Amino acid sequence: MAQAEEKYLVLCVDRDDDLGAKAKVDSPVVGREQAVAAATKLALADPEEADSNAIFAAVKKYDELARENVSCEVAVVCGKVNRGFEADRRLGKQIANVLAGSDYTGVVLVSDGGEDEQVIPIIQSLKPIVSVVRVAVKHSQTVEETYQILGRYLRMLIFDPHYSRYALGVPGLILILAGILTVAGHGAEAALATVLIIGGAALVRGFDVDRTVAGLLQRGPTGYMRLFSMIGAVIVVIAGIDAGYVAMTSNPNWIKVLTDPSQFLVYGGNLIGSFLGGSLNLVWAGIAIYATGALLSHIARDSIRWRRDSYVLVMLAMLYFPVRTFSDFLVNGTEEATFFLISYILLGLVAVFVLTITIYPRVRRPSAETE
């Protein structure tokens, strides 16, 4: 008896009004025959449209409830093509008009997912939803949700300054610079500039250089000191690498290796020694500049970490002679170079041992102290 007194509305929602835009059918559509006719027109207008399948699914649900002697009706309501506020307002009015036509107990919502289920709060403000039927059309549900996620991330890449500088700024710079160079007849330079810009952007983002620099600048004068020493160190190290490359290519064995790469097994050590010998002074100077900048910064901030920076400089000085001797050994391979190499390594090992057990424990910062 209670079941005979209840009546349910099987409701299909077309939020973007494909039914009106493509099939020219006015909504709301109420009744089984009217719904079948509307779905047929929509399927003929666009066979790939998912909403026609959702309407047929609503009719099928209506038939199932009718066979179970459940009093029900089927209806289709539509919003507007541009979705948004106007579409939801129109849906609310149409749902209210359909519900006013009879004393419905609740609503059975038939949806193909995506944006159509965003109207659930509107329906619930008018009548309770007793059941939701999801229509998993092969192409619609997953693809629609995927496009929504992609659209959200695309908007973030375009409008969020944190991401747009890399998603739009770097490609824009590449296109402008490459276009100027190409027009000027420098195609090879355009390709080189593109590679350098992409590599620089990847380096900055990969090593978090932008955030590191921003963090240093927030520290005030000491941050500028660290930044200056960092940039100076990078410049000097790059110059050292270039000097090492010049020294290596000036070695007569370089031509032999270029002519026959298998000769690298014979002359590779000699070339590596030339590279180390040519780059060592500048590379060591660059590392020392960075460590000195850190030392001065910590002294200015009255931080105990300056003691560790002093320890780094001492270790750097102690390693210079073994590395220099190792370079001479690779180039010359004399017994004298071998003797000095072993001697410097042993003396350095003893010195490190002494520093480790005597001085280093005294200069370690307490774990509670922060940078």
Cis peptide preceding 221, ω within 30 of 0: no
Residue 148 CB: number of other CB atoms within 10 A?
11
pLDDT digits (tens, 9 = 90+) for 198-235: 887 777 767 666 666 666 666 667 777 778 888 888 89
- AA letter at 219: R
Contact residues for 84 (Cβ-Cβ < 8 A; gap 6+): none
Q: How far apart are CA 367 and CA 363, in angstroms?
A: 12
| DSSP 8-state secondary structure symbol assigned to residue 358 | I
Which of 126-140, 213-227, 262-276, 301-315: highest mean pLDDT? 262-276
Which tops the pLDDT comparison, 296 or 160?
Answer: 296
Q: How far apart are CA 253 and CA 189, in angstroms?
A: 31
| Tokens describing residue 24 | 């020219």
Q: What own/partner pairs with CB < 8 Å and gap ≥ 24 does 348-354 have?
A: 348/318, 348/319, 348/321, 348/322, 351/318, 352/315, 352/318
pLDDT tens for 23-62 read: 898 889 999 999 999 999 999 998 877 788 889 999 999 9
pLDDT of amino acid 320: 85
pTM score: 0.46
Q: What residue segments make up the domains of the chain, in order of their start? A: 2-138, 208-363
Q: pLDDT tens, 141-196?
A: 556 667 667 777 777 777 777 677 777 777 888 888 888 888 888 778 778 888 88
Per the CB < 8 A criterion, the answer to whether 20 and 78 are in contact is: yes
Encoded tokens for 296? 């001065």
